[in-house]
Amino acid sequence: MSRGALQPSQQKLAEKLTILNDRGIGMLTRIYNIKKACGDPKAKPSYLIDKNLESAVKFIVRKFPAIETRNNNQQLAQLQKEKSEILKNLALYYFTFVDVMEFKCMWYIRYIDLFLFSVLVGFILCHAALSSDAAALSLWKLALQSSSCLCLFRDEVFHIHKSAEDLFVNIRGYNKRVNDIRECKESALSHAGSMHRERRKFLRSALKELATVLADQPGLLGPKALFVFMALSFARDEIIWLLRHADNIQKKSTDDFIDKHIAELIFYMEELRAHVRKYGPVMQRYYVQYLSGFDAVVLNELVQNLSVCPEDESIIMSSFVNTMTSLSVKQVEDGEVFDFRGLRLDWFRLQAYTSVSKASLGLADHRELGKMMNTIIFHTKMVDSLVEMLVETSDIPVSPPCRYTAGTFTKCLFLPNIVPSNIQFNLRHHIGDRSLSLCNMFLDEMAKQARNLITDICTEQCTLSDQLLPKHCAKTISQAVNKKSKKQTGKKGEPEREKPGVESMRKNRLLVTNLDKLHTALSELCFSINYVPNMMVWEHTFTPREYLTSHLEIRFTKSIVGMTMYNQATQEIAKPSELLTSVRAYMTVLQSIENYVQIDITRVFNNVLLQQTQHLDSHGEPTITSLYTNWYLETLLRQVSNGHIAYFPAMKAFVNLPTENELTFNAEEYSDISEMRSLSELLGPYGMKFLSESLMWHISSQVAELKKLVVDNVEVLTQMRTSFDKPDHMAALFKRLTSVDSVLKRMTIIGVILSFRSLAQEALRDVLSCHIPFLVSSVEDFKDHIPRETDMKVAMNVYELSSAAGLPCEIDPALVVALSSQKSENISPEEEYKIACLLMVFVAVSMPTLASNVMSQYSPAIEGHCNNIHCLAKAINQIAAALFTIHKGSIEDRLKEFLALASSSLLKIGQETDKSTTRNRESVYLLLDMIVQESPFLTMDLLESCFPYVLLRNAYHAVYKQSVSSSA
């Protein structure tokens, strides 16, 4: 049939049908979206529910689209007021309806329903064939038994049985057909679910095997491409069937419609899709050679053997052969973009030419030609339309499964071997806000589950690490000693305590521990999280790993704080060394996560641990720094002030004293060098700096009270300052002093706090020396070589740097800052300086009263006094250095003055005859030696000039002799 014989309306029929098909899908999409929007009260246009416009809406609906507005209709009066705004907001709705009316019974049916729709609807329309043709009736019943509803568009469905029954029940003589429909409906409700479930089960294993084979041999994608796309379409059809029927029919057995393994099937589909996308060039090479080397030859032979071939048809088929013959592998290697849309459109056109009545060349008479051309069309799509083929065969409409997958996802999270597939739930959602919220929810749930597994593993690992702590070895040592001495201490048959490490001994490979199960589940879940680095959903990028990272940070933070086991009511807290062991075990587990998923665990550590060195974390919650700082200040040091704990310099620790009310904790277990080093490891330089600042705040409050006491005694102290060489006058003045005991007690508290800080600083220096030895040595060298003539501001900056590294300084910068922040009203700088000088006088002249205290006895074993007065040496030196740095006085001169006053005052008690006031005279004498030993500004020569060394030597001899006699 020549081209000239075609009617004008028949020309370019292929192009028209192609455009019409695409436009039909677009029309359906627009109508569907309008229906959904109008069905949602929140999304429905306000004009359609406005009471004032209700009559106008009804009038328009009745008359649409021919609406007469020129007669000043009263029903449209209100509408005219808002005309411009309504036109602006409802234009899309109007033009959609107009387009639909112009378009006029296009139906869009997915491949899944194409056969069923053709059979079911075809025989409903041609129902006479059901009575005359047994094969037709059998085919119709088979279709009725396999499904209960057909998809029209997205979640719009067509209920087959109801529609057929409603039609046949009104036709006389069709009672048997109605009964057949009811039987088929019952069969579909009872058996279709289980039948499709078994299909999905088969497809899961088939797709898994196919994906595994293609991953190992991607070259098979060429010859097996048809099987790949068939597998994808079969799986897609079964998934859509399940999603459609799960929401739209009454089920007799819900188990058949809740598939916990659906994610696995989708996962294998995604694997196949990934292979096709990745190895697209491999498939292109194969089919380019296939088209040019085989298809072109066979088609040419078929064309040559045609008995009749009109000119137009001959031109088109010759172009087919020429196009395929010109193909070469080099085009693929050069990255040339192929486009066979023209060839496929020509085949569409050729089918139109050869299918009309009275065609010279009838396609129905040349079936081999049609089969070959259909094969060629498939082969061309393997070259230039792989992405479109993936969409056509494996794209899943997502409107129906939103509610289904939300419920199924949670169930899948806890199934072994299914967890790695869960990421597919996120990859399949691409519909607006619903997609974003679901994607966020799924990823968040996956991250939470992974976080919970990691937490359980960490708990198990912390328990194992706890078994290695030194506190657990006592029982083992005791058993070993008893066994060696052959003593029977325990009950007969008492099992021997299992040693750490026995959990790793396996008698066989079938033995699976709880830790093994946790690691297996975690590896599968992390595989899912790590499957794709990013996902694009409606121009939003989701990164699954970041969800896990975020949850790990939050959980790690809570776990660290929780592992302190701080109880505010009982003031109990974990020992720093035990917490450090648990934190390290936790970190070891978190580091192992990098073996499962590509996340930066170091970033997690930095974010969490650095926050723990601050007073509050990023959420405003207490940190281990604040908890331990409060505990040491409010519990340990408060008990020291109450006389229940003493600082033992020989042990470099605080130790419980025997008292009536035993403490709930052992101070030594929280303050010895190993515990302080553990504390420094946990808190780091920032946390230790906060601890120091908190300690200094307490010291500054004590100094403020001391200044008040000085002010109360300012006249007496001023006279005593210049009368130290007049013993009788000094004695008379001393009797006029008030609050002497309070001064010494507050100074002792200051000394205790400074001693604790000294322990903390030493521990920090040890820790930093291990971590950053070269930097610490540089800071130390810098500090030790400050010239004496250096400006004090410069020197204080160096001291601040040194203090941050844990190095001891002549002048404590933190103490200087704390004391300088005190503001006294109506007191001049000169007066402040005078008060500071008199404070040192007050302490010096008060020291002799310590000799009358029973607890002031010096103990050589602890190198101190049980009432902590040995801490006065540190308090006097550091308070003097800080105060006279602030007031720009001479530290050495003021300490010399202090030493002269203290020596004079202490020498007087050597002349006392009252044994009650001199019972611990020798122990108090030793304070002068301690003060000089502690001070960088005083020397032994200076002390010798004030206080004879022979008295110190005799004092040491006396206290040691007394100590020996007491112990005996």
Q: Is the pLDDT of residue 921 over 50?
A: yes
Over 70: is that where the pLDDT of 104 sits? Answer: no
pLDDT in tens, 637-695: 999 998 899 999 999 999 998 877 778 889 999 999 999 999 999 999 999 999 999 99
Give the model's pLDDT for residue 74. 67
Helix (H) or strand (E) holding 655: strand 653-656
Burial of residue 129 (number of CB atoms within 10 Å: 0-12, 13-18, 19+): middle
Mean pLDDT of 46-72: 71
Residue 158, helix vs strand vs coil? strand
Which residue in the block uniquely carries the two structure tokens 């057949």? 180
Q: How many CB atoms lie within 10 A of CB 278?
A: 13
Q: Where are the alpha helices (DSSP H) in 530-623?
A: 544-563, 576-592, 601-612
pTM of the model: 0.73
Helix/strand/coil for 597: coil
Give mean pLDDT, residues 613-621: 91
Per-residue tokens: 714: 């300012």
Model confidence at 492, pLDDT cuts 50, 70, 90, reads low
- 234: number of Cβ within 10 Å: 19
**C-alpha closest to that of 886 among 798, 796, 806, 804:** 796
User: Residue 663 burial by CB count (10 A; 0-12/13-18/19+): exposed, middle or buried?
Assistant: middle
- pLDDT tens for residues 132-176? 888 888 888 888 888 888 877 777 788 888 888 888 888 888 888
What pLDDT shows up at residue 112?
Answer: 47
Predicted local confidence at residue 106, as pLDDT:
44
Q: pLDDT grade, residue 42 (50/70/90)?
A: confident
Residue 153 forms beta bridges with which residues? 156
Instruction: Label residue 785 by pLDDT band (50, 70, 90).
Output: confident
Q: Indicate the domain borders of the chain.
A: 8-105, 193-394, 436-469+513-635, 642-966
In this predicted structure, the answer to whether residue 108 has a pLDDT above a threshold of 70 is: no
DSSP 42-76: TTS-GGGT-GGGHHHHHHHHHHTT----TT--GGG
- Collapsing DSSP to helix, strand or coil, 903 comes out as helix
pLDDT recorded at residue 99: 73
Better-predicted residue by pLDDT, 657 or 790? 657
The residue with greater pLDDT, 910 or 340, is 340
pLDDT in tens, 408-441: 544 455 454 444 555 554 544 445 677 788 888 8
Alpha carbon distance 202, 200 (integer Å)? 5
Whether 248 and 188 have beta carbons less than 8 Å apart is answered as: no
Q: Let me know if 630 is exposed, middle or buried by CB neighbors in 10 A (0-12, 13-18, 19+).
A: middle
Bigger pLDDT: 321 or 309?
Answer: 321
In this prediction, residue 477 carries a pLDDT of: 79
Q: How far apart (Å, rounded) are the C-alpha atoms in residues 61 and 573?
A: 75
Report the C-alpha gap between 374 and 760 in whole angstroms.
84
Q: What is the pLDDT of residue 284?
A: 94
d(CA 365, CA 382): 28
Please give the average per-residue pLDDT across 40-66, as a whole number.
Answer: 74
> What letter represents residue 530's amino acid?
N
In which residue are the tokens 């071997």 written? 417
Question: How many whole angstroms separate alpha carbon 147 and alpha carbon 119?
Answer: 12
**pLDDT tens for each residue of 736-777:** 999 999 999 999 999 999 999 999 999 999 999 999 999 999
Question: Which pLDDT does position 3 carry in this prediction?
Answer: 45
Q: How far apart are the first and last CA of the chain?
A: 132
Q: Give me the mean pLDDT over the 868-897 stretch.
A: 93
Dump the DSSP string for 136-149: HHHHHHHHHHH-SE
